[in-house]
Structure 1
Amino acid sequence: MENPRMLDLVIIGGGPSGINVGISAERAGLDYVILEKGVIANSLFHFPVNMTFFSTSLKLEIQNTPFISHRDKPTRAEALEYYRRLVGSFKLNIRLYEEVQKMDTLDSGYRIATKKTTYAARNVVVATGFYDTPRLMNIPGEDLPKVRHYYDDPHVYIGQRVLVVGAANSACDAALECYRKGAEVTMAIRGGEIYDRVKYWIKPDIENRIKEGSIKAYFHTTTDEIRPDEVVLGTPDGQITLPNDFVLAMTGYEPNYQLFERLGLAIAEDESCKPLFNPETLETTLPGVYMAGVACAGRQTSKLFIENTRDHGDIIVEGITQQRQLA
C-alpha cells in the first residue's frame, strides 16, 4: 500500500470543537482533514429531540459566524442546522463515518488509521468531546435492551414504568417529559436532593412533581440490578424491587478514554483524569498533538463548554503555523 501524503493537520472529531479548529485551519491555508466517527456534530445529534440549550445562541457562536435561532436559547434542531451550515459555508474537508482506530508515530508526524483508510499528518488535534461516551453504572443488567443511556423522545415511554437514574439536567428533563406524556416515572437519586446546577426553570418543576407524588423519587439510593421486568434499588431502608419496563440511565458522560489510550495520550493521575497538555498552547506530551474543546476537562465535564473553548482553534492553528515558519 502506498504511503498517504503528509497533511499539515488531522482533526479527530467533527463536533463544534472540531469544526472550530477546521475553520481556523481553512483560514490559515493548512492542508487538513476532519475525521468524524458519525454524523456532523454527532454528540449533539444524540441530544434529546426536544432539547433547548441552557446557553444563548450568541454564546454558542464560533468563528464570528452568527447563530440564528427563533428564541434566545436555541433548540437541538437549530444547533444541528448551524453546524451543517458552518461545514458548508467554509467548505470544510470533513470525512464522516471514519472512526479513528489507532495512531502511530512517524519520523515527521503521525499515521492515523480509520476503519476506511490511513492518513499521515505533521499535527493532530483531538476534539472528541465527551457526550458520545456514557458513564456506566457497571451493574448486572445494564446491557439489557430496555436500558438507555441517551434520552430521545418521550413518545416511546407512554404508559410504561420508567426508572430515571440521576438528578442532573438530563435526568430531570427526561423525568418531566415522560411523566407529562403518560409514563409512570420513578427516580433513583444518589444524593439527598435535586442538583443545584439543574436549569432554573426545571428545578422547581421537578421538585414540585416529587413533592406532590406525581413522580416517585428515592433519595440516597443506588440502582443495584436491572432485570427484564424489574429493577433492584438500594435505599437507606434496604433493597427494594420495583416492576419496570425501561431504565433511563442519565448518569453523565465522559471522554472516550479508550480512544485516548489508542492514541497514546497521557492522562492525569487524579480524579479529573484530564489529558496532560500545555494550557497555553494546548499541546499534549506528544509533540504536535493537541487537545481542543470540552475533552480538555477530562471527567470534570461541568468545567468547559462550547462558549469558553471557542479560542482553541485559533490557539492551535497559530502554534502550528509558527512551527512551520521556524522549520
Structure 2
Amino acid sequence: MRGFGPGLTARNLLPLRFAPRPPRPPGPLLSSRPAAGASSLTRAMDDLLRRAVPPTPAYELREKTPAPAEGQCADFVSFYGGLTEAAQRAELLGRLAQGFGVDHGQVAEQSAGVLQLREQPREAAVLLQAEDRLRYALVPRYRGLFHHISKLDGGVRFLVRLRADLLEAQALKLVEGPHVREMNGVLKSMLSEWFSSGFLNLERVTWHSPCEVLQKISHREGAAPVRDRGAEQNHHRHLLLHQPHTAGTAGRRAGNFPHQACPQGAAGQLPAPAMSKPKKDRVSTSRSDPVPVVIIGNGPSGICLSYLLSGHMPYVKPDAAHPHPLLHRKLAEASGRCLLDQDLDYLSEGLEGRSQSPVALLFDALLRPDTDFGGTADSVLSWKRQKERAVPHLVLGRGPPGGAWHAIEGSMVTLSQGEWMGLPDLQLKDWMRRKRRGLRNSRATAGDVAHYYRDYVTQKGLSHSFVPGALVTGVEMGTPQPKDAGPLFQVSGMLTTKDRGQRPFSLWARNVVLATGTFDNPARLGIPGEDLPYVHHELSVLEAATRAGTITPASDPVLIVGAGLSAADAVLYARHCGLPVIHAFRRPVDDPGLVFNQLPKMLYPEYHKVHQMMREQSVPSPSPYEGYRSLPQHRPLLFKEGQQAVLCDPHGHHQVLGVSLVLVLIGSHPDLSFLPGAGTSLATDPEQPLSTKRNPVEVDPFTYESTRQEGLYALGPLAGDNFVRFVQGGALAAASSLLRKETRKPP
C-alpha cells in the first residue's frame, strides 16, 4: 500500500462530509425475482469479479507487475452502482470476500518454509526474505482491487460508501462469516491509513490560501460564499481583517486542517522567500531587490539545501563519539561550533568511501557513521533552528517537491538501501514507521520515497519557499552595474496556473543553484531511423502499448537495447506480459562493468534473474526462457521503415530483425537548455557534451560553486553525485558558501 489515491481531493476532504446517497448511475438491469434473474445476476457477479480483481503476481515479479487497466476497476464501480437493493450488494461483497481473499495454500507453504529455516543455521537475510514472502502471501487479493479503486476520481468516496454498505449488511444479517469480517477489517485499516491525522497539517489561513479553502470555511461559519473571482480579494479580507498585526495582540486567527492531497497554495503565485523581515509576495523581483538564492530543481538536492538555508543549523552532539578516530579528534577541536562555519576541507581530509566528493563523504559519515559496515549507529549531529541565519531563497520545480521521483512507477523499488534515501533530521525508516509502511528487502518503493520527500517539505516548514509548476526557460547574466555587489542572474520561465494555463515569470537573483537531476533527456544512439514512430526511449511506451492491446504475445518481438537497470525493468515487464523479447547490448555478459555484477544477489534477485537470462540465452537454444533472446556485443546500426532493425554482431556481420517496437534504454542526460550553450561551457571538458557520468559540471569540491561562473552552483548528478545519500554533502558545501556570502554582504 503506498500513499493515497487521487480520489482524495480538496473537494472531498474540506470538510469530509457525505451527502445522502445520490441516485445510482445506470448499471445492469437487475431483477430481484429469485428464479432465472437471480441465476443470471450470480453469473454476472462471478464474471465481474474474475475480470476486476487483479491476480496476485509471483513474489519475484511483485514490483514489476503493471497496474490493471483502469477500466477493470471502473467496471466494478459501475456494476456495484447499478445494484439497487441491499441484498444484491451484500451478495456481491460476500462473493468478493469469500473467493478473493488469501491463498491459504500459499500461506501454508510459506509458513512451512519459515519454520524450516528457523531450525537451520542459515544467514539472517535468508530467513528475513522467507518471512517477507509469508507477509506477501497473507495479503488478500481484494486489497489490490480496493487500492486501485482508490486511484479513480472519487474512488475513496466510493470505498467509504462500500464499507458503509458492508456494515449495514452485517447488521441486517444479509452477509456473515469470518471472511466478511476480515474484509471489513482490511478496508477499515486502509481507510484509517488514508485518513490518518498524520496526513493533516494545521495551516494558517493567509493571503495565499486558495479561494476554495476560504469558501469551505465561510460555509461552515454561515458567511456568504465567493461567487466570482472579483469577490476573492474581499473574501480574503473578510477572513484576515481580524488577524493580529503584531505579536501579543489579541485577535481571531483563521486556520484549517488540509489533507496532503489538497492544494498547498494559490496556483499561479510565486511566494516570497522566508526573510528576516516580511515582504509582500511577488511574482517577479526587481534588479534592485534580487532574491539571494534561486534553486532550480526540487528533488532531494534542492530540498536538502532549502532545509539548510531555512536556518536549520547542524551541530555535533557534545557527547558523540564518532567511530572514525581522526574525524572524532577533528570534531572535538571545534566542539559547540556550527558545522556550516567550520573548515569542510580540513574535516573531510582523509575520509574514504563510495563517493569522489570529500564533503559528501564527510556529511554522510556524520549522518550515518558506520552504515557501510552494516552498523546502525545514530547520527552524531543535532539540529538547531536559528531563524536569524536563514537565507531567503526560492525553489523552482516543474512538479511537487521530490522532483523526478514522482515520475517513477510507484511500485518500483530503490536501488539504494531505504535508509540511505532519507534527508537530514527525519529518517526514512522513522517516517515509514509512523505511516505504517515497511521496507522490502531493506529497499523502499519509489512511491514511498516520493511521498516522503513531499512530506518532508511540509513537516520541516519549507513549503513557503517551494514553487511547483515552474518551468525555467532561461538563466542569463545581467549586465554588470556599479551599484551591483556581485553578479546578478535573471531567471525566467513559465508558471502553470490552477486552471492549467501558463503565464511568464521573471526573477533576479544573486546566486543560482542548479539541482535539476539527470532524468530529463533520454540518451540516444544517434543512428539513422531513431526517430521512426516504432522507436522509443521510455518504458512507459511499452506499458501503454500492452494496455491498449497494440502489442500482444502474438506480435513480433520487442527489441530492448541496453544493459542497465532500466533495460532490465523492460525485460521483466515484457516477460510478465508474455511478449517475445530480443535483448541487445554492446558489452559481453561477463563484463565486470555490468551493473548486475555489482549488486548482491540476495537483495536484488529480480535483476540477477535478468542477468542469468542474458547469459543463458546468448545463443538460440532450448531453455526455460522461451520467447527471450539475448544478443551480447551487438550494436544497432539503423532502423528501417517497415519495423526492421539492423544490428552488427561481434564479427561485423549484419542482422536484419523484424520487430514490433524498439526501446532504447541506455541512460539519460540533464536538460540545461535554459543555459547559454546548454551549459557545455560549465563542464569539466567544455569541448564535449555535458554528462553526469563522464563530463559533469566542474565545481569547487568544498563549495560546489562553478569554477567558470561566480554565483552559479551545481548539486547532485550535475556535479557527479549520483546517489541521494551523497547529494546532501553538496548541499552542505553550497549552504556553507552561501551563508558566508550573506555574512559578508554589505547592508
How high is the TM-score relative to the length of structure 2?
Answer: 0.41
Residue 698 (structure 2) aligns with:
276
Residues 108-152 of structure 1 deviation map (CA, whole Å, 9 limit, x = unaligned):
421111132111111111111112221111122322343332223
Kept after mapping to 1: 8 A contact 2:398/2:470:
yes
* Most deviating of 241-250 and 259-268: 259-268
How many angstroms apart in 2 are the aligned matches of 1:319 and 1:12?
Answer: 17
Matches within 5 A, 1:158-237: 158-159=552-553, 160=555, 161-193=557-589, 196-198=594-596, 199=599, 200=601, 201-210=605-614, 211=616, 212=623, 213-214=625-626, 215-227=628-640, 228-236=642-650
1:88 aligns with 2:484: no
Structure 1: distance between partners of 2:508 and 2:476: 9
Report if aligned partners of 1:190, 1:221 keep a CA contact under 8 Å in 2: yes
Which of these residues, 504, 508, 531, is aligned with residue 120 of structure 1?
A: 508
Alignment of 1:302-321 (within 5 A): 304-321=722-739
* 1:18 maps to which of 291, 302, 320: 302
SS in 2 for 1:275: coil
Question: CA-to-partner distance for each residue in 1:208-229, whole Å, 9 max, x for gaps?
Answer: 3342343201111111223452
Contact between 2:492 and 2:505, CA under 8 Å: does it hold in 1? yes
Q: Deviations over 1:40-82 (max 9, x none)?
A: 4342233345311121221111122121251120111111111
> 1:264/1:191 Cα in 2 relative to 1: closer, same or farther (>3 Å)?
closer
Q: Does 1:110 align with 2:489?
A: yes
Secondary structure of the 1:77 match is: helix
Structure (1 or 2) with the larger CA radius of gyration: 2
Residue aligning to 2:423:
62
SS at match of 2:450: helix
Q: CA deviation at 1:181?
A: 1.8
User: Is 1:6 equivalent to 2:290 in the alignment?
Assistant: yes
Letter in structure 2 aligned against 1:88: T
More strand by share: 1
Structure 1 letter corresponding to 2:730: H
The question of whether the paired residues in 2 share the 8 Å contact of 1:102 and 1:112 is answered with yes
Q: Distance in 1 between matches of 2:680 and 2:650?
A: 43
Q: What residue ranges of structure 1 are gaps of 5+ in the alignment?
A: 298-302
Residues 173-217 of structure 1 show CA distances to partners (whole Å, capped at 9, x for unaligned) of 211221122111111111111653224324431133342343201
Query: How well do the aligned residues superpose, as a CA RMSD in angstroms?
Result: 2.5
CA contact (8 A) 1:221 1:235 kept: yes
In 2 relative to 1, CA 292–2 (structure 1 residues): closer, same or farther, beyond 3 Å?
closer
Identify the structure with the greater helix proportion: 2
Query: How many equivalent residue pairs?
Result: 322
| Contact 2:672 2:679 survives alignment (8 Å) | no
When residues 2 and 316 of structure 1 are mapped into structure 2, their CA distance, relative to the original with a 3 A threshold, is closer
Could you tell me which of 500, 517, 537 is aligned with 1:149?
A: 537
Give the counterpart of 2:718 among 289, 295, 306: 295
Paired residue type of 2:471: E
Q: Quote how far apart the aligned CAs of 1:266 are.
A: 1.8
Identify if the C-alpha distance between structure 1 residues 189 and 22 changes in structure 2 by more than 3 Å, giving closer, same or farther: same
Alignment match, 1:300: none
Structure 2 Cα separation of the partners of residues 63 and 264 of structure 1: 32
CA distance in 1, matches of 2:397, 2:534: 28
| Percent of paired sites with the same residue | 21
Hey, what's the Cα distance between the residues in 2 that align with 1:155 and 1:2?
43
Shift of 1:97: 2.9
Aligned to 2:376: none
Q: Aligned with 1:258: secondary structure?
A: coil
Matched residues in 1 for 2:470 and 2:529: separation? 31
Aligned mates of 2:673, 2:390 — CA distance in 1: 32
Q: Secondary structure at the match of 1:308?
A: helix
Q: Is the 8 A contact 2:563 2:594 kept in 1?
A: no
- Alignment match, 1:33: 394
Distance of 2:696 and 2:579 partners within structure 1: 39
Aligned with 1:323 (options 725, 728, 741): 741
Q: Contact (CA 8 Å) 1:112, 1:119: kept in 2 or not?
A: yes
Q: Quote the residue 1:99 is aligned against.
A: 471
What's the CA shift for 1:38? 4.1
Residues 145 and 80 from structure 1, CA distance in 2 versus in 1: closer, same or farther, beyond 3 angstroms? farther
2:471, 2:636 → 1: CA distance? 32
Determine whether 1:130 maps to 2:518: yes
Check whether the contact 1:103–1:262 (CA below 8 A) recurs between aligned residues.
no
Question: Per-residue displacement from partner, 1:268-300 (whole Å, max 9, x unpaired)?
Answer: 128722212101111112112111112102xxx
Taking the aligned partners of 2:565 and 2:571, their CA distance within structure 1 comes to 10
Q: Whose RCO is larger (CA < 8 A, sep 6+)? A: 1
In the alignment, the residues of structure 2 paired with residue 40 and residue 323 of structure 1 have an alpha-carbon distance, to the nearest angstrom, of: 26
Following superposition, the deviation at residue 263 of structure 1 comes to 5.7
Which blocks of at least 5 consecutive residues in structure 2 are unaligned?
1-283, 312-388, 479-483, 495-503, 547-551, 617-622, 689-693
1:220–1:235 Cα contact (<8 Å) kept: yes
Task: Tell me the distance in 2 between the aligned counterparts of 1:173 and 1:309.
Answer: 25
| Alpha-carbon shift at residue 34 of structure 1 (Å) | 1.0
3-state secondary structure, aligned to 1:3: coil
Determine the C-alpha separation between the residues in 2 that align with 1:164 and 1:320.
Answer: 45
